[in-house]
Structure 1
Amino acid sequence: MASMLSEKAPAAIAAGAAPGRRRRRTAWRAAGFVVPVWVYVLCFYVYPLVSNVKMGFQNYTVASFYTGAAPFVGFANYTAVFHDPQFMTVVTNTVLFTIGSLAFQFAVGMGLAVFFRRVFPLGGVLRGLLLVPWLLPLVVSGTVWRWMMYNDSGVINYTLLHLHLIGQPVPWLASTNTSLIAVIIVNIWVGIPFNMVILYGGLQALPEQVFEAAAIDGANAWQRFTRITLPMLRPVILVVLTLGLIYTVKVFDVIMIVTQGGPANSSQTLTTYAYDLSFSQLLFGRGAAVGNILILVAVVFAGIYLRAVREQDGERR
């Protein structure tokens, strides 16, 4: 009897140790996937972010790249930026650019989403074609729109003149009155597909029975849209607007390609202003300070987005 127990003991120990080894192997496999991601995030997100925040409180010049000396100046960079005569113009341009882009992107995107909810021949093909502005590189889109908006040879002025909608060419890119409108138009064109896709997905999830019941009760199309579609689509709308706001505030490439922030800073926003301070005027500390302001704005609206997502999950539960 004792010999039998002694033979079973090693087997039991081995059987008990097997789950522990499996758990350790699973943990190592999980670490193999997670650790590279964290290394990437630390190297390409956390380190640049911390460095930019630090630079915003330093007098960082071209010489600092060679000597490594960048004296701490506290909030001097922020004070200089806030007292810059251009700063209020830049902030105003950023607000107008963001509101104008969001309003028209959402309105057109919602209209297209409602339109494509109907089933008709080639509807899927048309939806796919409308995604082209979203899929094209922004360098390509900006370059094409810049060519289209040329004063004398641009296709937009050519079309408007031949339709007798204008009497003389509109200086889209050369006038301080129209340059901001020009970049807003380009950004609207780029952002419409994003709004359409997200809103279309939200509309597809709405129950048809509710609309059928409302139609039977005598509600017309506008009443069904305002009193049923919009309230039921509110979580999706909030997410679309919040994400669009975060993206639009930090738009850089469209403005730089189309107008470079000019003429006379008339289309300059916070992103291009930070670039100009850092790489044109070589005031790296001030440029970092403006970048930190943008980061703060993005963090605030990211918090709003996360709260909206949590509320949406709570409503589903």
Structure 2
Amino acid sequence: MRSKVSGWAFLAPVVVYLGAFYAYPLYRNLDLSLRHYTVRSFVQGDAPFTGLDNYDTIWSDPTFWPAVWHTAVFTGVSLVFQFSIGMALALFFRQHFPLSATLRALFLVPWLLPLIVSASTWSWMLNSDSGIVNAALRLIGLDPVNWLTSPAWSLASVTIANIWIGIPFNLVVVYSGLQAIPAEIYEAAALDGSRPWQTFWRITFPLLRPVSAITLLLGLIYTLKVFDIIWIMTKGGPADASTTLATWSYRLSFGNLLPAFGPGAAVGNLLIIVAMVFGLLYIRTSLR
């Protein structure tokens, strides 16, 4: 009996934490999406139940499908380049050359900087008039690009910034996975005459699958909810050209004089569902 009480005592802080910071906010967000909330409703508590009306509202909104497409492109391109570049850098730093530890630490700087600093820096670099990127284009004889104010380039601009910010995370996780692979396997492969490319595809990459899976899953969840980078750089514009589901949810809830809390919460719930689906797929794959 005493052991059970002790066990529950140790579990209590975790249960309270999960309930207060995860379960309750999820419940409140679900409740918001099923009611017609206004600013007055939060004070008087008289928000009427509307069922799935808020979901019908966002599905019929002309912003919905472009936002879904932008979210898919932003997430997919970010994951591919973040993981590929992070993998390449991890393989590079595995060679243990002089100053490799120092250079590896410097690559962590984008990950350690506050996002508002990183996004503001990229906004300055991509500024149409005074940005360093357009200055470099002028030096080589190319026309400047309206990176942040052109509908054709705004989504690409925020994606490039997000890739730069996410590379260090992939580098750290993949590098730790490489360190766990026994060196004897590579020695045996070298004795068998395996070439570097063959060694990577037949030894390194298969042994990194568990690490790669969790890296991509965490990257997916993080990228789906990216808001601050896009909002600071373009605010989802121009003309919604870089609006994702995350920025649209914020704009619906807080970006208007008459906030639409219900539809904003409904958009947020869609993001939660997508993240949960991929999380369950990861768990099912891991069990196999």
> Structure 2-normalised TM-score?
0.94
The runs of 4+ residues in structure 1 deviating greater than 6 Å are: none
Q: Which residue of 1 aligns with 2:162?
A: 187
Q: CA deviation at 1:308?
A: 4.5
Q: Would the aligned equivalents of 1:239 and 1:308 in 2 still touch at CA under 8 Å?
A: no
1:86 equivalent in alignment to 2:49: no
1:134 equivalent in alignment to 2:111: yes
Q: Would the aligned equivalents of 1:278 and 1:284 in 2 still touch at CA under 8 Å?
A: yes
**Equivalent of residue 160 in structure 1, options 137, 149, 168:** 137
Give the counterpart letter for 1:120 in structure 2: F
In 2, the alpha carbon distance for the partners of 1:218 and 1:67 equals 76
Give the counterpart letter for 2:41 in structure 1: S
- The answer to which of 244-253 and 296-305 deviates more is 296-305
Change (3 A) 1:231 1:37: closer
- The answer to which of 167-176 and 297-306 deviates more is 297-306
In 1, the alpha carbon distance for the partners of 2:224 and 2:66 equals 15
Q: String of CA shifts for 1:209-249, please: whole Å, max 9, x gaps.
A: 22222222222111111122111211111111111111111
In 1, the alpha carbon distance for the partners of 2:201 and 2:15 equals 45
Q: Aligned runs of 1:231-310 on 2, under 5 Å? A: 231-281=206-256, 282-310=259-287
Q: Aligned runs of 1:64-75 on 2, under 5 Å? A: 64-75=41-52
Q: Which residue of 2 aligns with 1:111?
A: 88
Q: Would the aligned equivalents of 1:116 and 1:127 in 2 still touch at CA under 8 Å?
A: yes
Structure 2: state its 5+ residue gaps. none
Q: String of CA shifts for 1:170-229, please: whole Å, max 9, x gaps.
A: 111000010000110011011001111111111111122222222222221111111221
State the number of aligned residues: 286
Q: Would the aligned equivalents of 1:238 and 1:308 in 2 still touch at CA under 8 Å?
A: no
Q: Would the aligned equivalents of 2:137 and 2:143 in 1 still touch at CA under 8 Å?
A: no
Change (3 A) 1:201 1:308: farther
1:50 equivalent in alignment to 2:39: no
Question: Equivalent residue of 2:63, what SS?
Answer: helix
In 2, the alpha carbon distance for the partners of 1:308 and 1:171 equals 43
Q: CA deviation at 1:34?
A: 3.9
Give the counterpart letter for 2:92 in structure 1: F
Structure 1: state its 5+ residue gaps. 1-19, 312-317
Q: CA deviation at 1:30?
A: 6.4
- The answer to which of 125-134 and 216-225 deviates more is 216-225
Q: Would the aligned equivalents of 1:173 and 1:179 in 2 still touch at CA under 8 Å?
A: yes
In 2, the alpha carbon distance for the partners of 1:234 and 1:298 equals 20
Change (3 A) 1:29 1:87: closer
Q: Which residue of 1 aligns with 2:148?
A: 173
Q: CA deviation at 1:27?
A: 4.0
In 2, the alpha carbon distance for the partners of 1:36 and 1:280 equals 36
Q: String of CA shifts for 1:266-306, please: whole Å, max 9, x gaps.
A: 11111101011111241111001111111111211222333
Q: Would the aligned equivalents of 1:243 and 1:305 in 2 still touch at CA under 8 Å?
A: no
Q: Which has the larger radius of gyration?
A: 1
Q: Would the aligned equivalents of 1:105 and 1:195 in 2 still touch at CA under 8 Å?
A: yes
RMSD (Å) for aligned C-alpha atoms: 1.8
